[in-house]
Amino acid sequence: MMKKLIVYLLPLFAFLSIQAQDNIMLIDSLFKTLSERGHFSGNALIVSNGKAIYQKSFGLADREQNTPNNENTLFNTGSVSMAMTAVAILQLSEKGMLDIDGFVADYLSGFPYKRITIGHLLTHASGLPEVDSLLPDWDNSKLISNNDVMEALYRQKRELAFDPGMSSMFNQAGYIILAEIVKIITRQEFHAYLENNVFKPAGMSMSHIYNGQEINEIEDAAKGYFFSPYTQMYEEALKSSDIGSLFPFTGTEGNSNVWSTTGDLLSFCQAISANAILKEETVSQMFLKKTDALMPGQTRSYGNSFSYGWIIPEAPFRIALARGSMPGFNTEIVWNLSEKRMIIFQSNDYLSFTSYNNLLPYSVGTILNQGVLNIPKRYASIELTNEVLHISNAQIREKIELFKSDPETYSFDVPGLEYLAKRLEEMGEVEKAELIKSLIKQE
The domain that contains 95 carries what CATH number? 3.40.710.10
How high is the pLDDT of residue 6?
Answer: 42
235 and 316 both lie in a single domain: yes
Tell me whether residue 162 is in a domain. yes
Tell me whether residue 57 is in a domain. no
Tell me whether residue 190 is in a domain. yes
298 and 436 both lie in a single domain: no
269 and 390 both lie in a single domain: no
How high is the pLDDT of residue 316?
Answer: 86
How high is the pLDDT of residue 339?
Answer: 85
Tell me whether residue 266 is in a domain. yes
How high is the pLDDT of residue 72?
Answer: 98
Q: Where are the alpha helices (DSSP H) in 66-117?
A: 81-94
Q: Read off the DSSP letter of residue 413.
A: -
Query: What residues contact 301, with CB distance under 8 A and at least 6 apart?
Result: 292, 293, 294
Tell me whether residue 383 is in a domain. yes
143 and 194 both lie in a single domain: yes
Tell whether the torsion through CA atoms of 316, 319, 322 and 328 is positive or negative: negative
How high is the pLDDT of residue 302?
Answer: 84
382 and 254 both lie in a single domain: no
For residues 227 and 233, is the Cβ–Cβ distance under 8 A?
Answer: yes
How high is the pLDDT of residue 18?
Answer: 57
Domain boundary among 355, 370, 393: 355
Q: Where are the alpha helices (DSSP H) in 95-221?
A: 118-122, 131-134, 146-156, 172-186, 190-194, 200-202
Tell me whether residue 41 is in a domain. no
How high is the pLDDT of residue 53?
Answer: 94
337 and 397 both lie in a single domain: no
How high is the pLDDT of residue 9?
Answer: 40
Tell whether the torsion through CA atoms of 325, 304, 296 and 421 is positive or negative: positive
272 and 404 both lie in a single domain: no
Quote the domain boundaries for residue 291. 75-355
**Confidence (pTM):** 0.92
402 and 300 both lie in a single domain: no
Strand partners, 302: none
Q: What is the pLDDT along the chain (443 residues), one digit of tens a residue?
A: 434 444 444 343 343 455 678 899 999 999 999 999 999 999 999 999 888 999 999 999 999 999 999 999 999 999 999 999 999 999 999 999 999 999 999 999 999 999 999 999 999 999 999 999 999 999 999 999 999 999 999 999 999 999 999 999 999 999 999 999 999 999 999 999 999 999 999 999 999 999 999 999 999 999 999 888 778 889 999 888 777 788 999 999 999 999 999 999 999 999 999 999 999 999 999 999 999 998 887 778 888 999 999 999 998 889 999 999 998 999 999 999 988 899 999 999 988 778 899 899 999 999 988 999 999 999 999 999 989 999 999 999 999 999 999 999 999 999 889 989 998 998 899 999 999 999 888 65
> Rounded distance, CA 232 to CA 388, Å?
10
Largest interatomic CA distance in the chain? 80
> Rounded distance, CA 129 to CA 17, Å?
52
